[in-house]
Amino acid sequence: MNSEKGWEKALQEAVTSPEELWYLLELDPNLLPAAKSAAKLFPLKVPRSFLARIKKGDALDPLLRQILPLDAEHAVVSGYTRDPLEEASVNPIPGLLHKYQGRVLFTFVGSCGINCRYCFRRHFPYAENNPGTQGWDKALAYIANDSSIHEVILSGGDPLIANDKTLAVFSEKLNAIPHVKRLRIHSRMPIALPERISSEFITWISQLKQKPILVTHCNHAQEINSDVKEAMQRLTKAGVVLLNQAVLLKGVNDNADALVNLSESLFDAGIQPYYLHLLDKVEGAAHFDLPLTQVQKLQSEMNQRLSGFLVPKFAYEVAGAASKQALIMQM
Ligand SMILES: *Cc1c(COP(=O)(O)O)cnc(C)c1O
Ligand code: SF4
């Protein structure tokens, strides 16, 4: 975490070949052909520092399950579609999603530091929808024209794939719009590649005119190692509000112990649990889904075992709705 450009190099060196993943993690060779075939549907990508948190030789490791291409991804299951949120229709300008009141989501860059197999954007035409820096002015003009927009959310892809210079150019433009009070960044990078939280980044985020909020994406306590904790400490010191969103995933965190442990570990690292998303029904990820009765049971168990502020909102998205939908607890 010492070299400024370290994270860019680490990103380039992410593991993308199933053969190498098998070699490094000593996995069962019988499963390799299926992984190679599923990686053609959605590429394998995992930074080495994330890989180091996976237990060798354990095909059921909860971190491995999130990045491991499986045969099951070929299954065509009714109800699981390629664009489950119908995002194409709330896309006024390439890269900008204005779906909910008061905030816009800006898809800043087209790629991620890690490819999560359950991702609802695994089929998203990023290249076509990626505004690039030239496209920013249109998006910013749209925001400037609507004074009801108080919050800009950078999402993706993963916005922290962009380098600090790019972020600085963007926030300078954003500073010209006084009604934008908050800048929220949704990123899996602080977890997947904590090296990303460079001192240059800390300087940028601590000098923002808007109140900074960083929403991390962590699904299992085992993802939080000492590098992640250190990065979170530096962000907290810089005045950044840290929230986490997780996705409820079969084979990863689908038991009360794992979820309780996740909330406790996040809080220990200075991160407030925010959302626990139910899986978006995207083609190729049906094997991660859970029956609703089990979800409700997990929710009630978390309510019993955790302080109220450590229970994330169980939420799901409905195309066309005015907000994310909260799952109401069944007593
Ligand atoms: C999730 C989401 C937001 C943010 O919703 P919050 O409930 O405020 O976290 C904003 N825009 C879009 C398109 C979203 O999907
Ligand atoms: S980091 Fe987020 S957007 Fe990127 S692949 Fe994972 S879930 Fe999808």
How is 176-232 classified by DSSP, letter by letter? T-TT--EEEEEESHHHH-GGGS-HHHHHHHHT-SSEEEEEEE--SGGG--HHHHHHH
- Amino acid identity of residue 299, one-letter, is Q
Last residue of a domain, one of 53, 74, 95: 74
10 domain residue, yes or no: yes
Last residue of a domain, one of 39, 74, 109: 74
Distance 9 CA to ligand 2 centre (A): 20
79 domain residue, yes or no: no
151/31 same-domain check: no
| Bridge partners for 185 per DSSP | 154, 214
**Ligand 2 contacts CB of residue 189 (under 6 A):** no
Helix/strand/coil for 1: coil
How many CB atoms lie under 10 A from the CB of residue 114? 22
Q: Write the residue with the smallest CA distance to atom 1 of ligand 1.
A: 324
Q: Which of 116, 124, 154 to mutate to test the pocket of ligand 2 (most atoms within 8 A of CB)?
A: 116
Lowest mean pLDDT across 125-129, 254-258, 264-268 = 125-129
263 domain residue, yes or no: yes
pLDDT for res 126 = 61
Report whether 202 contacts 234 (CB < 8 A).
yes
26/61 same-domain check: yes
**Ligand 2 contacts CB of residue 283 (under 6 A):** no
Distance 315 CA to ligand 1 centre (A): 11
Instruction: Match 């800043």 to its residue by tokens.
Output: 108
40/14 same-domain check: yes
State whether the Cα torsion 56-278-155-240 is positive or negative: negative
Distance 135 CA to ligand 2 centre (A): 22
**Ligand 2 contacts CB of residue 116 (under 6 A):** yes
Closest-lying ligand 1 atom to the alpha carbon of residue 105: 11
Q: Write the residue with the smallest CA distance to atom 7 of ligand 1.
A: 324
Closest-lying ligand 1 atom to the alpha carbon of residue 324: 7
Instruction: Match 């090296």 to its residue by tokens.
Output: 195
Per-residue burial over 11-42, b if 16 or more Cβ lie within 10 Å, else e, is: beebbeebeebbeebebeeebbebbeebbeeb
82 domain residue, yes or no: no
Q: Write the residue with the smallest CA distance to atom 7 of ligand 2.
A: 119
3 pLDDT above the threshold of 60: no
Q: Which residues, judged by CB distance below 6 Å to any ligand atom, belong to the binding site of ligand 1?
A: 97, 99-100, 103, 105, 153, 323-324
Last residue of a domain, one of 23, 43, 74: 74
299 domain residue, yes or no: yes
280 pLDDT above the threshold of 80: yes
61/111 same-domain check: no
284/151 same-domain check: yes
| Bridge partners for 76 per DSSP | none
Residues 249 and 277: their CA atoms lie apart, in Å, by 9
Q: Which of 86, 103, 278 to mutate to test the pocket of ligand 1 (most atoms within 8 A of CB)?
A: 103
Domain that holds residue 63: 6-74
Q: Write the residue with the smallest CA distance to atom 10 of ligand 1.
A: 105
Residues 88 and 107: their CA atoms lie apart, in Å, by 13
pLDDT for res 20 = 98
pLDDT for res 127 = 58
Residues 79 and 81: their CA atoms lie apart, in Å, by 6
62/96 same-domain check: no
Lowest mean pLDDT across 64-73, 78-87, 126-135 = 126-135
55/106 same-domain check: no
State whether the Cα torsion 269-113-254-274 is positive or negative: positive
State mean pLDDT over 201-214: 97
> Is the peptide bond between 157 and the residue preceding it cis, with omega within 30 degrees of 0?
yes
Our count of domains for the chain comes to 2
State mean pLDDT over 188-200: 97
Report whether 204 contacts 243 (CB < 8 A).
no
State mean pLDDT over 20-34: 97
215/239 same-domain check: yes
Report whether 199 contacts 4 (CB < 8 A).
yes
pLDDT for res 125 = 63
82 pLDDT above the threshold of 70: yes
282/173 same-domain check: yes
159 pLDDT above the threshold of 50: yes
**Ligand 2 contacts CB of residue 119 (under 6 A):** yes
pLDDT for res 2 = 45
66 domain residue, yes or no: yes
Average pLDDT, the chain: 93
State mean pLDDT over 158-181: 96
Helix/strand/coil for 277: strand
C-alpha distance from residue 167 to each of 173, 256, 306, 319 (Å): 10, 38, 37, 30
Enter the DSSP assignment of 231: H
80 domain residue, yes or no: no
Distance 34 CA to ligand 2 centre (A): 22
206 domain residue, yes or no: yes
18/138 same-domain check: no
Q: Which of 50, 63, 108, 188 to mutate to test the pocket of ligand 2 (most atoms within 8 A of CB)?
A: 188
Residues 214 and 271: their CA atoms lie apart, in Å, by 9
State mean pLDDT over 279-285: 95
Closest to 263 (Cα-Cα) out of 254, 253, 255, 272: 272
CATH number of the domain to which 117 belongs:
3.20.20.70
What does the pLDDT look like over 307-321, one tens digit per residue?
Answer: 999 999 999 988 888
249/169 same-domain check: yes
176/289 same-domain check: yes
- φ and ψ at residue 192, rounded to 5 degrees: -70, -35
